[in-house]
Amino acid sequence: MLKRYFENISWVDIFLRVFQIVAIVVIVVGVYNTVVAARYTSAQWATLVFAGLAQGSIYALIALGYTLVYGILLMINFAHGEVYMAGAFTAVFLAQYLSRIGFLDSNPFLGITALILLAASVSTAIAVLLERIAYRPLRNAPRLVPLITAIGASFTLQYTFRGLYGAEFRSYPPVEALQGLVNVFGFEVPLVQLVVLGAAVILMVALYLFVERTKMGKAMRAVSEDKDVARLMGVDIDKVIVTTFAIGGALAGAAGVFNGLFRPQGVYFFMGFFPGLKAFTAAVLGGIGNLPGAAIGGLLLGVIESLFPNLILEGLGIPAANQLRDAFAFTMLVLILIFRPQGIFGERLAEKKA
């Protein structure tokens, strides 16, 4: 029995198993050392977790756009980070204006809603335009072709907005109503992080209800199951795909404003690149094509990023752990995909369709 088991596994499996064990040992040792050394107080850990959740909810909103498009077209919309940038970059001007006339402080709710609406509509417009010009003609092309188109679109959008709005760094104005700390379970948490997290969760729930309860949502699910059969059932494929891009764009635009509230600095034409990459990572982490997976993957990635460098790397005695933050996010991605090649919530799609 045991002999047969050993005959059936190859040395690749053994290697991967050893790799998994080593990874777990490294993580456990790192965590153990940090915890034993008691380098940080529980309040500091809580700060890191909430900052991670807020950042993660932004990743999650962008990741939903990736995963929606992937679920339906099976393509990586590499330019999605730029869709996010378009909304955030445009809304920064309105934010500065509203702040200067005092509206953002007198009516923070209305003001921020206006920002979100502007950012979401710009991002939606860009996403729909992108679909129409760059992706629709390539719908039946082999996979690499839309990927390269998306990379091209990404450059084009970055430098279009650079040309339009300039290369300077802009920043969102501080919103007075969002300053200050709130007490959550005995920990002091910045209000803005809670607001961002809460608003993002509301949007995600709304998306979930839309996909599950409405007719359009049903059509989207049908198209992602099987495009041809859906068409035979009378679903307007083009309309569904445009809606998908529009929803993804709107969520990305909203994420752009949330990001501006959370991290006001650094609004410029290249700002979408790394969040886009991270969000894509989050989508893959959760199992690409899976909506709850993208949401959880985003939140998880945010928390991993903010918590683990301190938790693990410092425990292992690696200096300047925060420099390695981004590397860590990708390392976790690699590890998780080695454990579960289809992502956390993914079905075994990869074998069939990829």
Partner 1 sequence: MKFDWRVIIRNGLLGGGIAFYLSAIGMTELFSERYLIGDFFSTGQLFVAIGGLTAGILTARAYKEENRFSAFLKSLISGVISSIPLLVLIFLIQVLVVRQIGEDVVFTWRDMFVNFSPALVEILTFGQGLAVGIPLLILVMTILSGLGAILILLPSRWGKALTSGLIWTLGIGIFSENVRSILAEVTNRDFVRLVFQQKTLNPGAALVIFLVVAVISFFRVGNTIQSGWKRLPTPQQKQGRIVGIVLGIILLIVLPWMVGQFLSQALFLVGMYVMMGLGLNIVVGYAGLLDLGYVAFFAFGAYTMGILTSTGPLGVGNFTFWTALPIAVLVGVVWGLLLGFPVLRMRGDYLAIVTLGFGEIIRILATSNWLAPFEGGPQGILHIPTPVFFGITMSQPQQMYYLVVAGSIFIAFVTIRLRDSRLGRQWMAMREDEDVAEAMGINLVQTKLLAFSIGAAFSAMGGAIFAARVGNIFPHSFNLLISINALALIIVGGLGSIPGVVVGALILVGLPELLREFTEYRLLMYGVLLIIMMLYKPEGFLPEETHKRELRGEEDDDYIEEQPVAMEA
Residues found near partner 1 in the complex (CB under 8 A): 10, 12, 15-16, 19, 70, 76, 93, 96-97, 100-101, 133-134, 137-138, 140-149, 151-160, 162-167, 277, 280-281, 284, 288, 318-320, 323-324, 326-327, 330-331, 333-334, 337-338, 341-343, 350-351, 353-354
Q: Which residue number, 133 or 233, has a Cβ lying nearer to partner 1?
A: 133
CB of 325 to partner 1, least distance (A): 8
CB of 34 to partner 1, least distance (A): 16
**Looking at the DSSP assignment, which residues form a beta bridge with residue 297?**
none
Look up residue 152 and give its two tokens. 């091209």
> Cβ contacts of residue 35 below 8 Å, gap of 6+?
315
What is the amino acid identity at position 168?
E
Q: Which residue number, 8 or 10, has a Cβ lying nearer to partner 1?
A: 10
CB of 249 to partner 1, least distance (A): 18
- Distance CA(104)–CA(174), nearest Å, equals 9
CB of 95 to partner 1, least distance (A): 11
Determine contact, residues 157/87, Cβ cutoff 8 Å: no
Q: Which residue number, 232 or 354, has a Cβ lying nearer to partner 1?
A: 354
Q: Which residue number, 146 or 256, has a Cβ lying nearer to partner 1?
A: 146
Look up residue 143 and give its two tokens. 């996979």
Determine contact, residues 104/175, Cβ cutoff 8 Å: yes
CB of 204 to partner 1, least distance (A): 22
CB of 167 to partner 1, least distance (A): 7
Q: Which residue number, 34 or 149, has a Cβ lying nearer to partner 1?
A: 149
CB of 207 to partner 1, least distance (A): 22
CA angle centred on 129, ends 126 and 134, rounded to 5°: 115
Q: Which residue number, 218 or 326, has a Cβ lying nearer to partner 1?
A: 326
Q: DSSP states of 298-337 as a string?
A: HHHHHHHHHHHIIIIITTTT-SSGGGGHHHHHHHHHHHHH
236, burial (CB in 10 Å: exposed 0-12, middle 13-18, buried 19+): middle
Buried b (16+ CB within 10 A) or exposed e, 143-156: eeebbebbeebbee
Q: Is the dihedral of CA 72, 75, 76, 82 positive or negative?
A: negative
CB of 93 to partner 1, least distance (A): 5
- Could you tell me which of 263, 230, 265, 211 has the C-alpha nearest to residue 64? 211
Half-sphere exposure of 72 (CA within 13 A, CB side): 30
Q: Which residue number, 50 or 269, has a Cβ lying nearer to partner 1?
A: 269
Q: Which residue number, 121 or 208, has a Cβ lying nearer to partner 1?
A: 121
